[in-house]
């Protein structure tokens, strides 16, 4: 079994834009100097801040007092204005009531006048109304009779139209059949030739099959038609029975309506008689009242009623006063309890306030401690950042790639594997959390030699080719070494392969191919070198780059490799494919041995070659990185369905006779990579410590804010409870005034009771004659009440009779409507045309056609044998068919004329029926109106009496409404006066509060402005210090053997001193950093001169320190060339 060779081809192409990918990392140094307070000494002198704070507190107390006064004034003004608004609402409502009462009185007066006018010719009008009802009822009966007769006419017309249309349809069928016969005879004649007859014979045979099916269909249709005819007959019989039954219902409802009308007339007559009795008795009551009025008994009776009413009201007032006294005592006791409860709550709140003060102090202390810890963590971070900067400074112009924390081969492989499956989430997260940092912390460093050297991309020299390959392979090996992977090898063969691949892409015009030409380029070159395959990374950069510097080319390669390692199309399905190639090591055979272990092949070596080219026009830079992974043959045991078998993996790229496996070119770079990586890891740890300190500070700040909020809440609660307690203490006892009100109510009750007893005594002393008149009046009123009750019962009976008549009318209308619907349904059923005969005819025709077609088959067979005779017979058949068609057409014309005549008569008779129905509707309306007019006249006496009562009632309601309106206006005027006083007091309170607010705002602004000014001074000092610190970090000095300080211009700085690696001026201000070596040529010369002065003048023995210093100066001079080529960072 041969194991298939594994090929690894990066599927993504790194695209680098024309603009160089450069990221400038700049570390900001922030120093937090915690402020410490010295509380050892108590200063008695008032500072400006204390004075300003005192002004704020004083104006705040004044503002709070003014606000409390304003709130009280606002409450009183709101209450007064609310009272005005309520009273205004009452006035508006009462005015509306007066207007409504006036309108009701006007309407009642007009109604009474109208009824009096109707009463002038009452008997004549009543007689005419009854006559109108009779005439209207006769008109309705006649109209209904005419409609019934016309319905019969329309029904007959409809049947005639249906029959005429049936005749037309039948005649049309005859014409159609005759025309079909003519067409058929003509066709038969036309086809009377051997070919035509044979074709017709074939068609007829096919038609016989259709005829057989048609017979079957016609038989089925006949059965359905029989069923339909029977269903219609059943429905017609049922509907006829329903029409007969509903006709009886209509007749019964008509009789019921007639009975209800008679009952209504009798009830109205009874009501009229009862009304007459009431009117007569009312006159008797009026006469008896007149007799009583001649005496003073009425006055005494009225006084007694008033006195009784006063006693009743006084009794209620005494009861209300007693309840008010009880409530007052309860209120006083409740207020005393509320004062005690509120005092207890205030004490608790004051205790809580004291606790809140202590909690706030503790929280502030914790916050100060957290800020100090944060400042310390920040200082540690700044120191570590400086250490990294120093390491980078030492690295000079050596290009390195530092692997960021968290960047591993496993994560690169996982990102690549997931992206190939369409899931880029891991790759995107890997870039955002790790890769982006790798893009930031690494940066290309140029040197003067590379800047001065020009590269012709079309003619790269062998030396430049070697330099480019060593540079690229060296960068990759730095990364692989940091990740624990074996280095990639560069040799002459891999360089040659890289160059040839680049040249072929250019020569084939595929410089900007978005992919990899495996078949056209990679496989042919691999076969040339007797290799199995090549794997490749490619990129290109647009723009004119025909002649560029070696430094620019290296910068492009550096940024290219950086991109492929750390960013590498992280959001696409090819994410980290290039990185996977750069970091390739063990190869997965996608197989397991007999023990279930994944089979991995470790390459014996991995070679890499780099090719650089541009397109034929000199546009752009194209870089390709070719990999040759060498793998030996591997045998292992696998489990198969047939048992254990040996699988042989043949290896890869290990059998070439032309590839120089044993040669290699050194690509190692100085090992500066590990130092910044370790320092960067420590920097990350310190950054985490700072983040934790910041989080602790934020937590402490939140707790401090919460404690301050709790303190403010506790203070507000104490203030609120104090205010509430003062309000409760200002409560005025209600019991004394309530007791006085009860005493006054008892006194008035006693007085009014005495008055009532005196009036009752006077009334008892009247003589028997007056008592008799009063008794007669009482009896008359009792009789009137009895007769009034009889009248009310009569009215109720009339109303019930009227309702019965209305119901009977509606019942009759419903029954007539139902009858009309049944009659319409009956007409539709009667218009039904039986289907059986037509279906039987269709069956007969189908059978006949089948027989005819069979006969035709025989005739066609014979006709083929006797062609001449056949044509003669078919001509005769055609002539006969034409004659029949003419006769059928004449019959159709006559049938259509008759149908048109019948339809015209139906339309005319329907119009007549519609006109009659309209007349019936109008007659019914006239009947309803006549009945209503008669009912109104019959109820005229009752309506007249009611109208008179309505006028009196409307007048009384108007008088009452007007009195209520006057009282409401008086209350409005009084409340408006009180509101004016309250609003004036509120205006003054608002002015006082505004003045206090202005004073408080000014004091607060002055205090805040002072604090801002103090903070601004502090910020300026800290900013100046930070700027000086930043400037000092980038200003370099050197120190000579004799202790002198030299700047970068070579000047000796008098009065300057050195502490550690920091340089201070004569005023002890930090001005710079002591450099390890001279950073400029002038500085190096001055140091050299000063050190030379310090050398011994006699003897061969030199000071060892001096000698070392001289050596360092010399090295500094040499290294100065590299320093001059270093880019100056902002």
Per residue in 622-641, pLDDT tens?
A: 899 999 999 999 999 999 88
Instruction: Summarize pLDDT for 704-756 with one digit per residue, the tens.
Output: 899 989 988 998 888 898 988 888 888 888 899 989 899 999 999 999 998 99
* pTM of the predicted model as reported, rounded to 2 decimal places: 0.33
pLDDT recorded at residue 297: 66
pLDDT at 4: 35
**Rounded average pLDDT over 350-373:** 91
Question: So what's the pLDDT on residue 39?
Answer: 39
CB 463 within 8 A of CB 563: no
Segment 555-572 mean pLDDT: 95
CB 405 within 8 A of CB 411: no
Question: Given this model, what pLDDT does residue 670 score?
Answer: 58
Residues 6+ positions from 668 with CB-CB distance below 8 Å:
474, 477
DSSP 3-state of 87: helix
Q: Do the beta carbons of residue 812 and residue 298 sit within 8 Å?
A: no
Q: How far apart are CA 554 and CA 559, in angstroms?
A: 9
The phi, psi pair for 1044, rounded to 5°, reads -85, 150
Per domain, the residue ranges of the chain are 14-18+399-669, 48-91, 1030-1124
Whether pLDDT at 467 is above 60:
yes
Q: Helix (H, G, I), strand (E, B), or coil: what is residue 599?
A: strand
In sequence order, the 6+-apart residues with CB closer than 8 A to the CB of 747 are none
pLDDT at residue 1068, as a whole number: 87
Higher per-residue pLDDT: 394 or 272:
272
Kind and range of the H or E run holding 984: helix 940-1033
The pLDDT of residue 393: 53
Chain mean position to CA 645: 65
The residue ranking higher by pLDDT, 671 or 922, is 922
Provide the b/e sequence for 533-549 (b: ≥16 CB within 10 Å).
Answer: bbbbbbbbbeeebeebe
pLDDT exceeds cutoff 50 at 9: no
Pair 626, 497: CB distance under 8 Å: yes
Task: Give yes or no for residue 320 having a pLDDT over 80.
Answer: yes
CB 604 within 8 A of CB 587: no
Whole-number pLDDT of residue 671: 53
Query: What per-residue confidence (pLDDT) applies to 121?
Result: 83
- Report pLDDT digits (tens) over 975-985: 998 999 889 89
Q: What is the pLDDT of residue 45?
A: 56
Residue with tokens 């009912």: 935
Q: What is the pLDDT of residues 380-434, one digit of tens each?
A: 888 878 777 656 654 567 999 999 999 999 999 999 999 999 999 999 999 999 9
For 542, list phi and psi in degrees, rounded to 5.
Answer: -75, 160
DSSP string, 570-585: TTSTTTTHHHHHHT--
**How much of the chain exceeds pLDDT 70, in percent?**
90
pLDDT at 498 over 50: yes
The model's pLDDT over 796-844, given as tens digits with 9 standing for 90+, comes to: 999 999 999 899 989 988 988 898 888 888 888 888 888 888 899 999 9
pLDDT tens, 987-1041?
999 999 999 999 999 999 988 988 988 888 788 778 878 887 888 888 999 999 8
Positive or negative, the CA dihedral 347, 349, 355, 357 is: negative
950 within 8 A of 108, measured Cβ to Cβ: yes
Q: What per-residue confidence (pLDDT) applies to 1117?
A: 33
**Is residue 986 within 8 Å of 979, Cβ to Cβ?**
no
Q: In Å, what is the CA distance from 650 to each residue of 527, 586, 659?
A: 17, 16, 18
Task: Answer yes or no: is pLDDT of 1122 > 60.
Answer: no
Whether the per-residue pLDDT at 601 is higher than 60: the answer is yes
The Cα 512–Cα 621 span in angstroms is 10
Cα-trace Rg, the chain: 62
3 state SS of 1076: coil
> In residues, how long is the chain?
1130
Closest by Cα among 501, 548, 544, 547 to 521: 501
Tell me the pairing of strands 1036-1039 and 1070-1074: parallel
CATH architecture of the domain formed by 14-18+399-669: 3-Layer(aba) Sandwich (3.40)
Give the pLDDT of residue 344.
93
Q: Is the pLDDT of residue 27 over 70?
A: no
Does residue 1109 register a pLDDT over 50? Answer: no
Q: What is the pLDDT of residue 618?
A: 65
Write the pLDDT tens digit of every residue in 656-698. Answer: 999 999 999 998 865 555 566 677 788 889 899 999 999 999 9
pLDDT over 70 at 902, yes or no: yes
**Locate tokens 């003067």: which residue?**
448
Q: Is the dihedral of CA 164, 165, 170, 171 positive or negative?
A: positive
Asked if the model's pLDDT at residue 10 lies above 50, the reply is no
Helix pair 836-865, 194-293: axis angle to 10 deg: 170
60's tokens = 């705040």
Contacts 24+ apart (CB under 8 A), 1059-1063: 1062/1032, 1063/1032, 1063/1037
Report pLDDT digits (tens) over 525-534.
999 999 999 9
Contact 625, 537 (CB under 8 A): yes
* 652 secondary structure, DSSP code: B
Contacts of residue 770, Cβ cutoff 8 Å, sequence gap at least 6: 292, 295, 297
C-alpha closest to that of 460 among 515, 430, 420, 502: 502
- Please, what's the b/e burial string for 119-135 (b: 16 or more CB within 10 A of its CB; e: otherwise)? eeeeeebeeebbebbee
pLDDT at 672: 52
Structure-derived torsion over alpha carbons of residues 498, 501, 505, 506, reported in degrees to the nearest 10: 60
pLDDT, the chain, mean: 85
Looking at residue 503, its pLDDT comes to 92
Residues with Cβ within 8 Å of 981's Cβ and at least 6 positions away in sequence, in order, are 80
Ramachandran angles phi, psi of 1099, nearest 5°: 90, 160
Cβ atoms of 554 and 471 closer than 8 Å: yes
Q: How far apart are CA 859 and CA 1104, in angstroms?
A: 146
Which pLDDT score, from 0 to 100, does residue 47 have?
81
Model pLDDT, residue 1100: 41
Question: What pLDDT was estimated at residue 11?
Answer: 32
Give me the phi and psi of 453, to 5 degrees please: -95, 130
Predicted local distance difference test score (pLDDT) of residue 513: 72
What pLDDT is attached to residue 675?
63
Q: Rounded to an integer, what distance in angstroms lies between the CA atom of residue 1043 and that of residue 1049?
A: 18
DSSP 47: P
Lookup: tokens for 704: 């401090």
What pLDDT sits at residue 607?
A: 98
Distances (CA, A) of 391 to 119, 524, 604, 687, 696: 126, 47, 36, 18, 32
- For tokens 């007749």, what's the residue? 251
Residue with tokens 């029977």: 230
For residue 489, report the phi and psi dihedrals to the nearest 5 degrees: -105, 140
**Rounded Cα–Cα distance for residues 983 and 992 (Å):** 14
Going 991 to 992 to 996 to 1002, the CA torsion angle's sign is: positive
Taking Cα atoms as reference points, which of 46, 51, 262 lies closest to residue 137?
262
Looking at the predicted structure, is the pLDDT value of residue 520 above 90? yes
pLDDT of residue 544: 64
* DSSP structural state of residue 730: T
End-to-end CA gap in the chain: 65
Q: Describe the crossing of helices 735-764 and 297-395 by its angle, rounded to 10 degrees.
A: 160
pLDDT at 40: 38
Q: Which residue has the tokens 């004549």?
A: 124
Tell me the average pLDDT across 934-940: 85
Compute the distance between CA of residue 3 and CA of residue 5 in angstroms, rounded to an integer.
6
Given the DSSP bridges, would you call strands 1045-1046 and 14-16 parallel, antiparallel or unpaired? unpaired
């Amino acid at each position: 079994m041969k194991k298939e060779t594994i090929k690894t081809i990066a599927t993504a192409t790194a695209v680098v834009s024309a603009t160089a990918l450069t990221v400038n990392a700049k570390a900001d140094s922030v120093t937090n100097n915690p402020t410490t307070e010295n509380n050892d000494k108590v200063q008695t002198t008032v500072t400006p801040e204390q004075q300003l704070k005192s002004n704020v507190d004083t104006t705040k107390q004044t503002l709070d007092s003014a606000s409390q006064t304003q709130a009280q004034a606002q409450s009183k003004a709101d209450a007064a204005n609310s009272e005005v608004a309520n009273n205004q609402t009452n006035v508006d409502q009462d005015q509306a009531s007066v207007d409504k009462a006036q309108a009701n009185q006007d309407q009642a007066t007009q109604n009474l006048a109208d009824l009096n006018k109707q009463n002038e010719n009452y008997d004549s009008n009543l007689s005419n109304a009854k006559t109108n009802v009779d005439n209207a009822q006769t008109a309705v009966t006649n109209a209904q009779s005419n409609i019934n007769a016309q319905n019969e006419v329309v029904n007959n017309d409809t049947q005639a139209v249906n029959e005429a249309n049936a005749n037309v349809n039948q005649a049309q069928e005859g014409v159609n059949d005759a025309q079909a016969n003519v067409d058929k005879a003509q066709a038969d004649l036309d086809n009377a030739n051997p070919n035509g007859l044979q074709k017709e014979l074939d068609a007829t045979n096919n038609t016989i099959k259709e005829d057989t099916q048609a017979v079957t269909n016609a038989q089925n249709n006949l059965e359905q038609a029989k069923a339909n005819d029977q269903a219609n007959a059943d429905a017609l019989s049922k509907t006829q029975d329903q029409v007969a039954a509903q006709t009886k219902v209509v007749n019964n409802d008509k009789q019921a309506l007639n009975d209800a009308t008679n009952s209504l007339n009798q009830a109205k007559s009874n009501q009229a008689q009862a009304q007459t009795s009431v009117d007569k008795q009312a006159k008797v009551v009026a006469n008896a009242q007149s007799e009583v009025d001649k005496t003073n008994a009425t006055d005494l009776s009225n006084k007694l009623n008033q006195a009784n009413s006063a006693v009743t009201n006084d009794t209620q007032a005494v009861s209300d006063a007693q309840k008010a006294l009880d409530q007052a005592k309860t209120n006083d006791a409740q207020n005393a309890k509320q004062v005690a409860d509120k005092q207890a709550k205030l004490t608790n709140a004051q205790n809580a306030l004291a606790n809140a003060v202590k909690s706030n102090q503790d929280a502030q202390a914790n916050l100060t401690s957290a800020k100090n810890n944060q400042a310390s963590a920040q200082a540690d971070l700044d120191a570590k950042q400086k250490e990294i900067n120093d390491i980078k400074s030492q690295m000079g112009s050596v290009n390195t790639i530092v692997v960021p924390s968290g960047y591993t081969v496993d994560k690169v492989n996982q990102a690549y594997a997931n992206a190939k499956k369409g899931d880029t989430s891991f790759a995107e997260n890997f870039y955002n959390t790790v890769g982006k940092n790798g893009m930031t912390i690494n940066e290309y460093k140029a040197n003067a030699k590379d800047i001065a050297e020009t590269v012709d991309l079309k003619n790269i020299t062998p030396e430049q080719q070697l330099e480019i390959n060593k540079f690229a392979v060296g960068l990759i090996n730095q990364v692989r070494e940091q990740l624990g992977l074996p280095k990639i090898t560069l040799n002459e063969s891999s360089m040659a392969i890289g160059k040839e691949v680049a040249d072929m892409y250019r020569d084939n015009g595929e410089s900007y191919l978005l992919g990899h030409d495996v078949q056209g380029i990679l496989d042919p070159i691999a076969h040339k070198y007797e290799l199995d395959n090549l794997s490749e990374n490619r990129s290109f950069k647009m723009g004119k780059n025909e002649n560029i510097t070696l430094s620019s080319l290296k910068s492009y390669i550096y940024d290219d490799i950086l991109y492929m390692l750390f960013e590498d199309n992280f959001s696409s399905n090819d994410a980290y494919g290039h990185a996977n190639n750069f970091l390739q090591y063990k190869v997965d055979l996608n197989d397991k041995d007999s023990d279930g272990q994944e089979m991995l092949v470790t390459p014996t070596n991995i070679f890499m070659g780099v090719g650089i080219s541009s397109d034929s026009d000199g546009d752009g830079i194209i870089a390709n990185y070719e990999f040759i992974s060498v793998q030996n043959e591997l045998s292992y045991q696998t489990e198969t369905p047939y048992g254990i078998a040996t699988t042989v993996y043949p290896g890869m790229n290990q059998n070439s006779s032309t590839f120089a496996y044993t040669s290699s070119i050194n690509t190692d770079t100085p090992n500066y990579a590990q130092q910044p990586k370790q320092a960067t890891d420590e920097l990350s740890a310190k950054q985490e410590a700072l983040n934790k300190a910041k989080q602790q500070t934020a937590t402490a700040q939140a707790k401090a804010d919460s404690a301050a909020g709790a303190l403010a809440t506790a203070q507000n609660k104490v203030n609120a409870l104090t205010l509430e307690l003062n309000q409760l203490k200002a409560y005025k006892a209600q019991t004394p005034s309530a007791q006085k009100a009860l005493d006054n109510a008892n006194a008035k009750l006693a007085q009014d009771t005495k008055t009532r007893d005196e009036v009752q005594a006077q009334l008892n002393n009247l003589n028997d004659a007056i008592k008799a008149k009063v008794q007669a009046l009482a009896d008359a009123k009792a009789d009137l009440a009895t007769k009034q009750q009889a009248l009310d019962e009569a009215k109720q009976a009339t109303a019930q009779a009227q309702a019965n008549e209305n119901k009977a009318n509606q019942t009759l209308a419903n029954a007539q409507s139902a009858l009309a619907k049944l009659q319409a349904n009956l007409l539709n059923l009667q218009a039904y045309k039986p289907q059986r005969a037509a279906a039987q005819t269709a069956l007969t025709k189908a059978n006949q056609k089948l027989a005819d077609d069979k006969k035709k088959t025989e005739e066609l067979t014979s006709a083929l044998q006797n062609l001449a005779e056949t044509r003669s017979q078919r001509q005769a058949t055609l002539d006969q068919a034409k004659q029949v068609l003419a006769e059928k057409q004449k019959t159709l014309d006559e049938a259509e004329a008759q149908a048109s005549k019948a339809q015209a008569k139906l339309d005319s008779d329907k119009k007549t029926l519609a006109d009659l129905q309209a007349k019936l509707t109008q007659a019914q309306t006239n009947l309803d109106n006549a009945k209503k007019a008669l009912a109104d006249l019959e109820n005229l006496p009752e309506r007249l009496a009611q109208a008179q009562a309505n006028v009196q009632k409307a007048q009384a309601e108007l008088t009452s409404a007007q009195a209520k309106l006057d009282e409401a206006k008086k209350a409005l005027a009084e409340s408006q006066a009180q509101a004016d006083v309250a609003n004036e007091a509120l205006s003054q309170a608002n002015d006082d509060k505004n003045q206090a607010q202005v004073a408080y705002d000014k004091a607060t602004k002055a205090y805040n402005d002072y604090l801002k000014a103090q903070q601004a001074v502090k910020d300026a000092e800290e900013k100046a210090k930070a700027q000086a610190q930043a400037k000092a970090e980038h200003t370099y000095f050197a120190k000579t053997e004799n202790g002198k300080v030299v700047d970068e211009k070579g000047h000796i700085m008098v009065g300057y001193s050195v502490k550690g690696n920091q340089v201070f001026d004569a005023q002890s201000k930090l001005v710079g950093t002591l450099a390890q070596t001279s950073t400029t040529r002038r500085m190096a010369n001055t140091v050299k001169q000063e050190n030379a002065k310090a050398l011994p003048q006699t003897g061969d023995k030199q000071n060892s320190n001096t000698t070392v210093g001289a050596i360092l100066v010399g090295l500094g001079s040499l290294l100065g060339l590299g320093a001059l080529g270093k880019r100056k960072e902002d």
